[in-house]
């Protein structure tokens, strides 16, 4: 579970946090689990809370709960991320992604502690031919993106020194994401059809978690005005979902797993309730300038992720390496046929 963040200006000290824990809101999401793992590995105090203890739809007592923990900083990874379902549950999406996020930001502001809030590439409509910069005007195509954009504004209004990080195409060994979906489809379908006209930056959640911890450190030790505002953080390099799937299948084949045929299709051939942007690419150069870090190339990090999911070993009679089916037994729980998977924080 090695995180691969390229550091261009080293921190002043080796992760010099206080004894007070970092509070991670959103215990069961991909990023929250990676943050928990990295904090444990580095001996950093961290508390990850989710429902029912910390329920952003039930905001009564949130301030007392957080005050009882006394965190040094809050990282909000909690979100409503069911992109298609949000089209019919707009009120709930806004309740969590806007109002709940604002409640956390308000508590952090009242406690005078840093807040790092996670957002999404889906705040953009994808019409720009180049990668999106933080100064580009958002225009979400779907309810999920609109709720996250409203959340950004609400967070910064409640906590003017908050750090808002937009990420894209998150994947990890945990939860529901594109990599795990491709592994499941590789076992259940003869031909895997994948959208080829949507482009973005695949982002390994462990890489993003490492960057978030470094930003938290900066927020605790430097002038918070330097870390305030909106930043883009995505894996280096771009890909279509089809490119991403090809890389996944290639790496699985290299590890001895049996793979299926891939077929490229268009967005029109894969209708969904929510419209997706054709261009989700994020320009992460601002984060590099301000924090001195950038995430590793996504193809490199994909190997680390698949090491966890697929593993290594001798191939069996069916062409599968030892541990393949055991490691991926839970993948069948995921929503079937979701080639264009939404970011799941």
Catalytic residues: 144
Tell the burial category of 341 from Cβ atoms under 10 Å away from its Cβ (0-12, 13-18, 19+).
buried
**Residues forming a β-bridge with 236:** 297
Compute the C-alpha angle 73/208/12, nearest 5°. 60
Phi, psi of 24 (to 5 degrees): -100, 115
Q: What is the enclosing helix (H) or strand (E) of 326?
A: helix 324-327
Cα(91)–Cα(55) distance, rounded to whole angstroms?
16
CB neighbourhood size of 14 (10 A): 8
Q: Return the closest-CA partner of residue 16 out of 290, 217, 238, 199.
A: 217
SS (H, E, C) 237-257: CCEEHHHHHHHHHHHHHHCCC
Cα(82)–Cα(100) distance, rounded to whole angstroms?
16
126: left (phi over 0), alpha (psi -120 to 50) or beta: left
62 touches 50 (CB < 8 A): no
Cα(70)–Cα(64) distance, rounded to whole angstroms?
10
Pairing outcome for strands 115-120 and 163-167:
parallel
314 touches 303 (CB < 8 A): no
Q: Return the closest-CA partner of residue 245 out of 268, 261, 266.
A: 261
Cα(48)–Cα(296) distance, rounded to whole angstroms?
25
């Amino acid at each position: 579970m090695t995180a691969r963040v390229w550091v261009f200006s080293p921190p002043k000290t080796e992760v010099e946090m206080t004894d007070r824990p970092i509070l991670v809101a959103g215990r069961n999401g991909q990023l929250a689990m990676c943050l928990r793992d990295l904090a444990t590995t580095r001996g950093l105090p961290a508390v990850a809370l989710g429902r029912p203890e910390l329920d952003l739809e039930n905001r009564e007592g949130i301030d007392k709960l957080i005050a009882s923990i006394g965190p040094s900083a809050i990282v909000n990874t909690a979100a409503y991320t069911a992109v298609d379902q949000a089209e019919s549950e707009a009120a709930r999406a806004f309740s969590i992604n806007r109002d709940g996020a604002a409640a956390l930001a308000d508590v952090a502001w009242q406690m005078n502690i840093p807040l790092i809030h996670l957002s999404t590439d889906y705040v953009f409509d994808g019409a720009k031919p180049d990668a999106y910069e933080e100064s580009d005007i958002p225009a979400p195509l779907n309810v999920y993106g609109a709720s996250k954009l409203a959340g950004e504004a609400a967070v910064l209004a409640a906590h003017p020194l908050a750090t808002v990080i937009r990420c894209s195409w998150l994947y990890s060994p945990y939860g529901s994401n594109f990599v795990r979906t491709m592994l499941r489809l590789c076992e259940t379908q003869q031909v895997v059809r994948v959208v080829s006209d949507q482009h973005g930056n695949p982002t390994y959640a462990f890489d993003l978690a490492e960057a978030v911890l470094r930003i938290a450190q900066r927020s605790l030790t430097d002038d918070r005005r330097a870390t305030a505002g909106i930043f883009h953080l995505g894996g280096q390099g771009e890909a279509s979902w089809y490119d991403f799937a090809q890389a996944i299948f290639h790496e699985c084949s290299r590890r001895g797993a049996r793979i299926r045929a891939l077929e490229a299709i268009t967005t029109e051939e894969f209708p969904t309730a929510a419209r997706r942007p054709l261009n989700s690419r994020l320009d992460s150069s601002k984060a590099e300038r301000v924090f001195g870090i950038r995430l590793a190339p996504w193809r490199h990090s994909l190997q680390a992720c698949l090491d966890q999911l697929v593993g290594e070993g001798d191939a069996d009679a069916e062409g599968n390496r030892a541990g393949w089916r055991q490691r991926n037994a839970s993948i069948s729980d995921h929503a079937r046929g979701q080639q264009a998977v939404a970011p799941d924080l």
